[in-house]
Chains A and B, each alone.
Chain A
């Protein structure tokens, strides 16, 4: 028994990744949950439009953080601000009672706003747009689509890649006349297709089972999903380059997956998180895919209104995929480029590597 315990400790000390998980993960979970696990939204971004915009803005309680005041604005302008996710609440002055439009796709902000508006009484007529019944499933399904893509992209892909290394067939591929980029593309293409089919199934099921609306352009949605898939597939390839076994790949993928679930705004609203934790959320690809999927599905937002998450995801795809490909190339072609030797005819020239 003593020998077994000593042996187990020795193995554990040498397995830095598991050791890190045992020590760092509880600390991370404590800190992240402590600062991120907050459903209470203290302020909501607010627009006030219409002839009495300036006066109304001054009268609103501090909970309504007025970021837009447009005396010349109309209800259509207010709806555009909500659709483009610029604000959570918009007051349209000039009518009695004053219409207060609430962005239902930001669930927790909307719930807080509706509660605050109910206290105002009959002076305001509250209307929740994009998720009138404030259903959790409506905001969760678009985010879960991203989570499923993340799962396939990171865990399944990295395991598939690492399997080559474990079986020794990566060594075989390394000496074959096939470019590393083609190996990567050939390896991830099936996962890309499977993830795409999964995405379609989950989206359709979400619509059928939970009556989640799809108000926007499906092509814009597909484009966002494709870019996001490249990011997470790149992460999967990257994880495979720093893992020797499937177990290590799963552990590492878990490190990438857990923050996406907790800090992407999928469960806890980003605006309710402490600033020290929130910035992590803004580094995660799922944060931006959720912005796109909720924007297109619930609010029918056009691609022009979602340019920021599209640009960020595209930049992430380029950086992650390039980095992962370079690391994978290094694994596949450690000897570097070969050059022809003079002793061999050109048609089948020998290579000489120094």
Chain B
């Protein structure tokens, strides 16, 4: 089963949040949506979750009974304990009794939250709260799991825990669509969607995105064109859209672009094209 958003256009007043976006999310795989602030990541996820009306296009998603959603906010009720949060959501999906107890214990164990089961959600660390939100999103074994920046603002160890949980959900057959601002994280997904100002810049597997990248990225201490350069650590990278892969411009050193370089280069290419 593949869920999708096709030719989706969403406008908020005069702002075009999504512009003719098509994304497919096959069952059993993780699709990562990356892009800067205001790229349209959350709008895309919310459109698939049925929270945002499309001005144009279609959404194919399972009924709400089979949908799991972790919003960008905490996703849990602060005045309820971890157990009460899970029980509340599970109750809405019709889980009760021994089935719920077994599922709750299993998920708390997998999320390393068993020791905090009786703690108020308000007293959890940021990472624990996101894990609780994730547990609440998958408690009913959804067919489609939508995660809005599940790892933003949490420590590296919790990020690893969350990614393990995401991978397990996909391995058990769920279609997972997640947004992230961490590009190293996005590289792990089966399929990448790079958004910029509501449009898809590129999408495909990591290898496909790299293979399809045209132009050259160079490294120098001082860029030739400021509008085509960005800082990576102590050096500056610069994008040459028209340059042949074998021939970097004189005085520069070509580098193998990683996903971060590719996303920034494509975003700059689009913005500079719009300006000109």
Contact = CB atoms under 8 A, between A and B. Distances in A.
Contact of B50 (A175, A341, A343, A344): A175
Contacts of A175: 49-51, 64, 67, 69
Interface in B39-77: 47, 49-54, 57-67, 69, 71-77
Contacts of B143: 348
Contacts of B53: 334-336, 353
A354 B54 contact: yes
A351 B65 CA distance: 11
Contacts of A172: 69, 71, 75, 89, 136
B182 to A, nearest CB: 21
Contacts of B65: 177, 348
B64 A176 contact: yes
A352 B62 CA distance: 9
Interface in A161-199: 167-169, 171-172, 174-178
Given A167-B73, A168-B73, A176-B92, A353 B63 contact: no
A42 interface: no
Contacts of B93: 176-177
Contact of B72 (A168, A334, A348, A351): A168
Contact of A169 (B1, B60, B75): B75
A168 B71 contact: yes
A177 to B, nearest CB: 4
Contact of A351 (B47, B54, B61, B71): B61
Contact of B60 (A167, A333, A350): A350
Nearest to B68: A175
A178 B72 CA distance: 21
Contact of B51 (A174, A348, A350, A354): A174
B59 A352 contact: yes
A171 B43 CA distance: 13
Given A171-B71, A175-B51, A350 B61 contact: yes
Interface of A: 167-169, 171-172, 174-178, 333-336, 338, 341, 343-344, 348-354
Interface of B: 1, 3, 47, 49-54, 57-67, 69, 71-78, 89, 92-93, 136, 143
Given A168-B73, A351-B60, A354-B59, 9 more contacts: A175-B49, A177-B63, A335-B53, A343-B1, A344-B62, A348-B66, A352-B60, A353-B50, A353-B58
